[in-house]
Chain A
Amino acid sequence: MLQVDQLTKIYPNGEKALDGCALNVGTSQVVAIIGPSGAGKSTFIRCINRLVEPSEGRIRLDGTEVTGLGSEAMVKMRRHMGMIFQEYNLVERLTVMENVLSGRLGFVSFWQAFLRRFPQADIDRAFDLLERVGLAGYENNRADALSGGQRQRVGIARALIQEPKILLVDEPTSSLDPKTARTILGLVADLAHERGLPALINIHDVGLALMFAERVVGLSKGRIVFDGAPGEVDEHILTRIFGEADWRQTIRHAAEDAEQLEGKRATGADGRGSQPARQRGAAQ
Chain B
Amino acid sequence: MTASDGTHANRVPGTGRRWRKPPMIASPLLRYGLVVLLAAYLVYAIDDVNFDLDRFIAGIPKAIDMAQQMVPPDFSRWQLLLDGVLESLQMAIFSTAIGVVLSIPIAVCAARNMVAKPVYLAARGYLGVVRTLPEVLIAIFLVKAFGFGAFAGMLTLTLASTGFVGKLLAEDIEDIDPRQVEAIRATGGNWLKVLLYGVAPQTMPRYIGLCIYRLDINLRESTILGIVGAGGIGATLYNSFGRYDYDFSFAILLSIIAIVLVAEWASGAIRARIT
Interface residues of A (CB under 8 A from B): 49, 51, 72, 75-81, 83, 85, 87, 89-94, 98, 102-106, 110, 113-114, 155, 158, 162, 168
Proximity bits, B202-238, A CB within 8 Å = 1, else 0: 1011000000000000000000000000000000000
Cα A98 to Cα B177 in complex, Å, equals: 18
B104 → chain A, closest Cβ, in Å?
13
Cα A72 to Cα B191 in complex, Å, equals: 10
Which listed residue, A77, A91, A113, touches B188 by the CB 8 Å rule? A77
7 further contact pairs, Cβ within 8 A, besides A91-B180, A105-B197: A51-B182, A75-B188, A75-B189, A79-B188, A83-B187, A158-B187, A162-B187
Quick one: closest B residue to A87, CB to CB? B179
Tell me whether B186 is interfacial, beta carbon within 8 Å: yes
- A93 touching B202 by the CB < 8 A rule? yes
Residues on B with C-beta less than 8 A from A102 are: 183-184, 187, 189, 197
Q: Most chain-B CB neighbours within 10 Å: which of A77, A83, A102, A104?
A: A102
Residues on B with C-beta less than 8 A from A83 are: 183, 186-187
- A51 touching B186 by the CB < 8 A rule? yes
Quick one: closest A residue to B185, CB to CB? A51
Residues on A with C-beta less than 8 A from B99 are: none
Q: Can you spell out 14 A-B residue pairs with CB atoms less than 8 angstroms apart?
A: A51-B186, A77-B188, A78-B186, A78-B188, A79-B187, A81-B188, A83-B186, A90-B183, A91-B183, A104-B187, A105-B188, A113-B189, A162-B187, A168-B186
Residues on B with C-beta less than 8 A from A106 are: 187-190, 193
Residues on B with C-beta less than 8 A from A155 are: 183
The 4 closest A-B CB pairs, nearest first, are A106-B188, A79-B188, A105-B189, A89-B183
- B186 touching A49 by the CB < 8 A rule? yes
Q: Most chain-A CB neighbours within 10 Å: which of B183, B189, B196, B204?
A: B183
Given known A51-B182, A105-B193, A114-B196, contact A92–B188 (CB-CB < 8 A): no
Tell me whether B145 is interfacial, beta carbon within 8 Å: no
Given known A91-B202, A94-B197, A113-B197, contact A85–B183 (CB-CB < 8 A): yes
Cα A92 to Cα B197 in complex, Å, equals: 10
Cα A13 to Cα B187 in complex, Å, equals: 28
Quick one: closest B residue to A102, CB to CB? B197
A38 → chain B, closest Cβ, in Å?
19
- B187 touching A78 by the CB < 8 A rule? yes
Given known A76-B188, A77-B188, A105-B189, contact A94–B183 (CB-CB < 8 A): no
Q: Most chain-A CB neighbours within 10 Å: which of B177, B185, B186, B204?
A: B186
Residues on A with C-beta less than 8 A from B177 are: 92
Tell me whether B72 is interfacial, beta carbon within 8 Å: no
Cα A78 to Cα B187 in complex, Å, equals: 6
A157 → chain B, closest Cβ, in Å?
12
- A103 touching B202 by the CB < 8 A rule? no
Residues on B with C-beta less than 8 A from A105 are: 184, 187-189, 193, 197
Tell me whether B201 is interfacial, beta carbon within 8 Å: yes
B108 → chain A, closest Cβ, in Å?
15
Q: Most chain-B CB neighbours within 10 Å: which of A72, A78, A105, A162?
A: A105
Residues on B with C-beta less than 8 A from A87 are: 179
